[in-house]
Amino acid sequence: MDLNYGAEYEEFRKEVQGFCKEYQGVSFKRESNVVADTLNNSSATKKSKKEITRSEWQKILIEKGYIARAIPKEYGGYGGETDIIKSRIIATEFSKAKVPGGMGGQGIDMLVPTLLEWGSEEQKQKYIRPTLHGEMIWCQGYSEPNAGSDLASLQTKGELIDGNWVINGQKIWTSTAQYSQMMFCLVRTEPQAPKHSGISFILIPMDTPGIEIRPLVDMTLQAGFNEVFFDDVTVPEENIVAKRGEGWSVANSVLGHERGSLADPNATMNRLNTLINMMKEQTIDGRRLIDIPSYRDRLMQVQGKVMASQAHSLRLLSSKINPGQNVKLGGMIQKLVGTELRHELEGLAIDVLGEIGTLYEDSPYLKEDGSFQFTYMYFLGLIIGGGTNQIQKNIISERGLGMPKEPKVTEAS
Binding site for other proteins (CB under 8 A): 1-6, 85, 276, 280, 288, 290-291, 293, 296-297, 299-301, 303-305, 307-309, 311-312, 314-315, 317-319, 321-322, 325, 328-330, 332-333, 336-337, 390, 392-394, 396-398, 400-407
* Least CB distance to other proteins at residue 278 (A): 13
Q: How far apart are the C-alpha atoms of 61 and 99, rounded to whole Å? A: 11
Q: How far apart are the C-alpha atoms of 315 and 318, rounded to whole Å? A: 5
* Least CB distance to other proteins at residue 265 (A): 10
- Whichever of 177 and 299 has its CB closer to other proteins, that residue is 299
Q: How far apart are the C-alpha atoms of 199 and 362, rounded to whole Å? A: 45
* Least CB distance to other proteins at residue 348 (A): 14
- Whichever of 73 and 280 has its CB closer to other proteins, that residue is 280
Q: How far apart are the C-alpha atoms of 65 and 72, rounded to whole Å? A: 11
Q: How far is CA 201 from CA 141, 182, 224, 250, 368, in A?
A: 10, 13, 24, 7, 41
* Least CB distance to other proteins at residue 11 (A): 15
- Whichever of 161 and 401 has its CB closer to other proteins, that residue is 401
* Least CB distance to other proteins at residue 85 (A): 7
- Whichever of 244 and 320 has its CB closer to other proteins, that residue is 320
Active-site residue flag, 258: yes
State the DSSP H helix or E strand holding residue 30, giving kind and residue range, or none if neither. Answer: none
The residues near 262 (Cβ < 8 Å, ≥ 6 apart) are 334, 335, 338, 339, 382, 386
* Least CB distance to other proteins at residue 333 (A): 4
Beta bridge partners of 229: 170, 212
State the DSSP H helix or E strand holding residue 390, giving kind and residue range, or none if neither. Answer: helix 389-395
Q: Are residues 94 and 218 in contact, defined by beta-carbon separation less than 8 angstroms?
A: no
* Least CB distance to other proteins at residue 357 (A): 20
- Whichever of 10 and 74 has its CB closer to other proteins, that residue is 10
* Least CB distance to other proteins at residue 311 (A): 4
Nearest to 378 by CA among 143, 149, 221, 144: 221
Alpha-carbon dihedral sign for residues 33, 38, 42, 45: positive
Active-site choice (159, 246, 258, 368): 258
- Whichever of 88 and 129 has its CB closer to other proteins, that residue is 88
- Whichever of 82 and 390 has its CB closer to other proteins, that residue is 390
**What single string gives the DSSP state of each residue in 35-96?**
---TTT--GGGS--S-EE-HHHHHHHHHHHTSSSTTS-GGGTS------HHHHHHHHHHHHH
Rg (CA), the chain: 23
Nearest to 149 by CA among 375, 392, 332, 313: 392
- Whichever of 46 and 405 has its CB closer to other proteins, that residue is 405
DSSP state of 147: B
Backbone angles phi, psi at 167, to 5 degrees: -115, 130
Tell me the catalytic residues: 258
